[in-house]
Structures are given as C-alpha cells and as structure tokens.
C-alpha cells in the first residue's frame, strides 16, 4: 500500500496567526512529507505491505513505527483544524467531556497542562475507549493512543517543529491558541 501526504482543506495561510503559512509549509510540506516518504521506503519487504496505517502503528516498532506513527498523527492533526474553527463541541462529545472533566473549560486546562508537562517531543491526545469514555493521553515522540486500544479524537503536536517559528519557546501560549482553530465537527465525527 502506498501512503500519500494528506491534502489540506484550507490555504497554507488560512490558520494564521495561530499557525503561520511558513510553519504549515515546513510542517506539512517538509516534515510530514519526509515521514510519508520514509514509510513508503520502509514497508516493502515487511509483513505490513498490505495492511492499513493503524495496524502498522499498533504492531510495528523502531523506524517503521516512528514513521507510521507520525503519518497517522499528522493526518489526524492537519485535518482537525479550520479557519472557521473554535468554539465548543456539541452533542455526544460535549456530554462525554462534561462527564469526564466537569466542564469544557476544565478539559481545556487539563489538555494544556498535559502538553506543557510533556518532556521533549510528543503529543497530547483526547481519546475514547470502546465504551465511549474519554481520557487524555501523553505520548512521547511518535506515540498514538491506538497502541493502548483507544481511538484518538483530537491531537496537539508538542514537537518544537509545530510551533517554534511562531511562538519560539512559548509552548503554553501556542497550546492555548490552538483552541481557536479546532474544527469540532471533525473531532465529533471521530467519536
Ligand atoms: Fe509535527
């Protein structure tokens, strides 16, 4: 199976000022493209030639896991934003967030705290288990909640390549601003 770079549904400058055109061009066009290329070079000759991306992430290790994980992570990441994003979730997702954290505001604080507290590079995720119960997971490097049997709903990239051009060392400010571009319709569709 050949993996492709996910298309953006928005212009490269459409998420400014939260994510600049330059960051999108490097992050999507260079970093993610490299993970896609590496994955396509690593899969041939392995038992993963005819399986989907999530299966590779769940069952592989080493370089294959790192590149497959980053392709999955960034595909979820770049498709969860919109220039018309922001606001709050609704319906089943809003109810599940209230059940887990008491309020949307508390959930936002918890996710931001998890992201600020993650040492080095990685991701923080809102994930659900098979009963629909939500949790926040912190994943180092290329990690994704699918390796824990969970479904990823929303992921914030805390690798410096995601924010350094725009926010330098201010990871906390970047995470706080990301809420302005989250497309909750997309996140809800992952429930
Ligand atoms: Fe990234």
Q: What is the pLDDT of residues 33-74, one digit of tens each?
A: 999 999 999 999 999 999 999 999 999 999 999 999 999 999
For 3-56, the DSSP string reads --PPPPSS-TTTTTTTS-HHHHHHIIIIIIHHHHHHHHHHSTTSTTTTS-HHHH
* 83: confidence class by pLDDT, cuts 50, 70, 90: very high
Mean predicted confidence (pLDDT) in 152-172:
97
* 1: confidence class by pLDDT, cuts 50, 70, 90: confident
**Domain coordinates in residue numbering, the chain:** 21-78, 91-189
Instruction: Please tell me the predicted confidence (pLDDT) of residue 47.
Output: 97
Mean predicted confidence (pLDDT) in 83-91:
97
Instruction: Report the alpha-carbon distance of residue 71 to residue 51 in Å, rounded.
Output: 14
pLDDT digits (tens, 9 = 90+) for 15-37: 999 999 999 999 999 999 999 99
Buried b (16+ CB within 10 A) or exposed e, 35-58: bbebbeebbeeeebeeeebeebbb
Instruction: Please tell me the predicted confidence (pLDDT) of residue 77.
Output: 98
What residues does 6 pair with on adjacent strands?
A: none
Task: Answer whether 86's CB lies under 8 Å from 179's CB.
Answer: yes
- How many A from CA of 78 to the centre of ligand 1? 9
Q: Specify the CATH class of 21-78 in words.
A: mainly alpha
Cβ-proximal residues to 112 (8 Å cutoff; 6+ apart), any chain: 172, 175, 176
Q: Which residue is listed with tokens 């199976």?
A: 1
Mean predicted confidence (pLDDT) in 5-13:
98
pLDDT digits (tens, 9 = 90+) for 101-125: 999 999 999 999 999 999 999 999 9
Where do the DSSP E strands lie in the chain?
122-128, 134-140, 151-157
Q: Is the pLDDT of residue 130 over 90?
A: yes
Joined tokens for residue 103: 């309020």
End-to-end CA distance of the chain: 26
- How many A from CA of 92 to the centre of ligand 1? 29
Q: At what angle do helices 104-117 and 171-178 cross, to 10 degrees?
A: 150
Sign of CA dihedral 2, 130, 111, 19: positive
- How many A from CA of 156 to the centre of ligand 1? 9
Joined tokens for residue 114: 């998890």
CATH 3.55.40.20 is held by the domain 91-189 = yes
- How many A from CA of 29 to the centre of ligand 1? 11
- How many A from CA of 27 to the centre of ligand 1? 6
Instruction: Please tell me the predicted confidence (pLDDT) of residue 171.
Output: 98
- How many A from CA of 121 to the centre of ligand 1? 9
37-40's contacts with Cβ under 8 Å and 24+ in sequence apart are: 38/63, 38/67, 39/3, 39/64, 39/67, 39/68, 39/71, 40/2, 40/3
Instruction: Please tell me the predicted confidence (pLDDT) of residue 18.
Output: 98
- How many A from CA of 144 to the centre of ligand 1? 13
The per-residue pLDDT of the chain, averaged, comes to 97
């Amino acid at each position: 199976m050949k993996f492709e770079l996910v298309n953006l549904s928005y212009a490269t400058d459409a998420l400014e000022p939260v994510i600049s055109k330059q960051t999108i061009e490097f992050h999507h066009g260079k970093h993610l493209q490299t993970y896609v290329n590496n994955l396509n070079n690593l899969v041939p000759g392995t038992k993963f030639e005819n399986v989907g991306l999530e299966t590779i992430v769940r069952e592989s290790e080493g370089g294959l896991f790192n590149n497959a994980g980053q392709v999955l992570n960034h595909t979820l990441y770049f498709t969860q934003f919109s220039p018309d994003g922001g606001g709050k979730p609704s319906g089943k997702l809003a109810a599940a967030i209230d059940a887990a954290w008491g309020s949307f505001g508390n959930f936002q604080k918890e996710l931001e705290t998890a992201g600020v507290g993650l040492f080095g590079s990685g991701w923080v995720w809102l994930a659900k288990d098979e009963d629909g119960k939500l949790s926040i997971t912190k994943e180092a490097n290329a990690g994704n909640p699918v390796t824990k049997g969970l479904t990823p709903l929303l992921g914030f990239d805390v690798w410096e390549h995601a924010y350094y051009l725009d926010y330098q060392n201010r990871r906390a400010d970047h995470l706080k601003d990301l809420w302005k571009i989250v497309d909750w319709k997309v996140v809800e569709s992952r429930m």
